[in-house]
Chain A
Amino acid sequence: MKPAPFSYRRPGTLQLALESLAGEPDAKVLAGGQSLIPLLSMRLAAPSMLIDINALPDLDHVTTAADGVRVGALARHAAVLADQDAVRVQPLLAKALANVAHSTIRNRGTSVGSLVHADAAAELPVVLRLLGGSLDVASTRGRRTIAAEDLYVGLLETSLRHDEIAVEAFFPALALGEGVAFDEVARRHGDYAMCGVAALVQVDGDRVVRARAGYLSVSEVPTVIELTDAFSVAVDEESLAAAGEMALAGLDPQTDIHASADYRAQLVRVLTARVLRSAYDDARGRMLARVER
């Protein structure tokens, strides 16, 4: 349970970090380390070098504007969760972050680190995908922005190149008429979920204009399913059940030591209905609050 030897760098500037990374193909970037260090200790990963970015300046920001929230690579989950402006502009952040492990882990773990670790059981990748956010990455060759839909390519695998460091994530703001909800089922409080669902519903009056849901811990990559067609008539028991079946048609639940594929499928049905209902109520509630104001 001790990491294998690696060389360690703690650069003081992003440029130095990028140069180190470019020169060392087997290097890994260390931010919060709440996923990486267990992997090292269990020797599931043995990089030749760790590039610790914790000493880099100006990367711990949580910046909120009308269009959304920008989260720097060193912003801890706890800092995002505690940022009143951020969670007001995009309430799904708070709803999902409250489910990320325990507060002690959130104190150290970074939101951007979780996005690029790309664990299929993690909450934030699904949030980024569902909201249609993006990730800014840097290398010695320059900067580029990766859309969330192009980010996740496989189990623990993103489309980042080996010499790129994720520097900032962008979570779009909640738009007019939209509501969000999140729920997950885990064996124990704070554990990785066996299934989790994030939902985004847009309403016009009491009619659903658009509905979609993101699923974690069901497939190898965070998966977003369009569910608008389930709600063409009304939001009721029947349409919510239909949404669950529609979601299952687009997912391929897997069996692992925590849950069978059948059980996961049942969780998809139950959570889809529950979370879509909740996101619909959230959207309606926001519209009513707006009218009353």
Chain B
Amino acid sequence: MSEELHEVRLVVNGATYDVTVPGRRLLSDALRHDLRLTGTHVGCEHGVCGSCTVLVDGTPMRSCLMLAVSAVDAEITTVEGLALADGSLSPVQQAFKDCHGLQCGFCTPGFLTTITAGIRDNPQPTREEAREMIAGNLCRCTGYQNIVKAVERAAELTSAPRRSSSVETPPGEHL
């Protein structure tokens, strides 16, 4: 049985990839299986958990709720594309490290992409806005408190990028 295939050019983290996929290939699967970019995680595969969130032209979207063939005209950023050019952690990644914002790490790629766009659009979020920013992402380890702190820390690091990134005290109370 031969399934109809499509030649698709995807632009991911600034690199161009030519792949041949069936129409039904989810963008999340194309990233992981065809491009071998396994940083994007697939949790629920129906848009609820947020693990697979990537940036499509800079905007957070669920890669499990997009078809690869439908992503042709877009520039996609995955978690692999967040680190700075010299390989050092982005402010959001650094904030997760500083604030202990992850435990098992499965959900983390979706949080990092979502918060990267969130901080760009709202550089000084309140506690309430920080919570709203991550409301569409599920984490079963952390209880979210340290992720909320990481959002606030990321905002701090972004507004003062030249300050040392190794801080003694994350925002809020000590752990």
Which chain A residues have a beta carbon within 8 Å of chain B's beta carbons? 1-8, 10, 30, 33-34, 37-38, 40-42, 50, 52, 54-55, 78, 101-105, 107-108, 189-190
Contact of B50 with A by CB under 8 A: yes
B135: A residues at CB distance < 8 A: 102-103, 189-190
How many angstroms from the CA of A40 to the CA of B45 in the assembled complex?
Answer: 11
B22 touches A34 (CB 8 A): no
Determine whether the beta carbon of A38 is less than 8 Å from that of B23.
Answer: no
Which B residue sits closest to A191, measured CB to CB?
B48
Contact yes or no, A5 B46, CB < 8 A: no
Known: A7-B23, A103-B60. 9 other contacts (CB 8 A): A33-B70, A34-B62, A38-B65, A52-B70, A101-B136, A102-B136, A103-B136, A108-B65, A108-B66
Question: A104 and B60 in contact (CB under 8 A), knowing A1-B46, A7-B4?
Answer: yes
Residues of A with C-beta under 8 A to B50: 102, 104
B residues less than 8 Å from A108 (CB atoms) = 56, 61-62, 65-66
User: Which of B26, B56, B73 lies in contact with A2, CB distance below 8 A?
Assistant: B26
Contact A37 B61 (CB under 8 A): no
Name the one of A7, A10, A102, A104 contacting B70, with C-beta atoms under 8 angstroms: A10
* Most chain B CB within a 10 A radius of its CB, from A3, A6, A38, A102: A102
Determine how close the nearest CB of chain B comes to the CB of A60; give it in whole angstroms. Answer: 13
- B interface with A by C-beta (< 8 Å): 3-4, 6, 22-24, 26, 29, 45-47, 50, 53, 56, 59-62, 64-67, 69-70, 72-73, 114, 132-133, 135-136
Please tell me if the beta carbons of A190 and B136 are within 8 angstroms of each other in the complex.
Answer: yes
Would you call B69 and A105 a contact (CB within 8 A)?
no
With contact pairs A2-B26, A8-B23, A105-B47 given, residues A37 and B67 touching in the complex (Cβ less than 8 Å): yes
Taking a contact as CB atoms under 8 Å apart, the answer to whether A5 and B24 are in contact is yes
With contacts A37-B67, A38-B65 taken as known, whether A8 is within 8 angstroms of B47 at the C-beta atoms is no
| Closest chain A residue, CB of each to CB of B24 | A3
In the bound complex, CA of A37 to CA of B48 (Å): 12
Contact yes or no, B22 A104, CB < 8 A: no
A105 to B23, CA, bound (A): 21
| A104, B53: Cβ atoms closer than 8 Å | yes
A106 to B142, CA, bound (A): 26
Provide the residues of chain B in CB contact with A52, threshold 8 Å: 67, 69-70
Q: Are B136 and A1 in contact (CB under 8 A)?
A: no
Bound Cα distance A42, B72 (Å): 24
B67 proximity list for chain A (CB < 8 A): 8, 30, 33, 37, 50, 52
CB distance from A120 to the nearest CB of B (A): 19
Residue in A closest to B21 when the chains form the complex, CB atoms: A8
5 A-B contact pairs sorted by A residue (CB < 8 Å): A5-B3, A37-B64, A37-B67, A52-B67, A104-B60
Nearest CB on A from B126, distance (A): 16
A7 to B4, CA, bound (A): 7
Chain B residues near A189: list those with CB within 8 A. Answer: 135
B114 — which chain A residues lie within 8 A by C-beta?
Answer: 104
In the complex, which residues of chain A have a beta carbon less than 8 angstroms from the beta carbon of B26? 2-3, 37, 41
Query: In the complex, A1 Cα to B23 Cα: how many Å?
Result: 15
CA of A55 to CA of B71, assembled, Å: 10
Q: How many Å lie between the Cα of A1 and that of B29 in the bound state?
A: 11
In the complex, A41→B60 CA distance in Å? 21
A203 to B142, CA, bound (A): 49
Nearest CB on B from A48, distance (A) = 11
Residues of B within 8 A of A101 (CB): 136
Residue in chain A with minimal CB distance to B46: A38
Residue of A nearest to B27 (CB): A37
C-alpha gap A77/B78 in the complex (Å)? 23
CB–CB A107/B23 < 8 A: no
For B3, what are the chain A residues with a Cβ–Cβ distance below 8 Å?
Answer: 5
Please give the distance in Å from B19's CB to the nearest CB on chain A. Answer: 14
Contact between A37 and B66, CB atoms less than 8 A apart: yes
B68–chain A nearest beta-carbon distance, Å: 10
Which one of B59, B69, B72 lies within 8 Å of A107 (CB-CB)? B59
| Inter-chain contacts of A7 with B (CB < 8 A) | 4, 23
Of all A-B residue pairs in the complex, the 4 with the closest CB atoms, nearest first, are: A102-B136, A8-B23, A38-B46, A3-B24
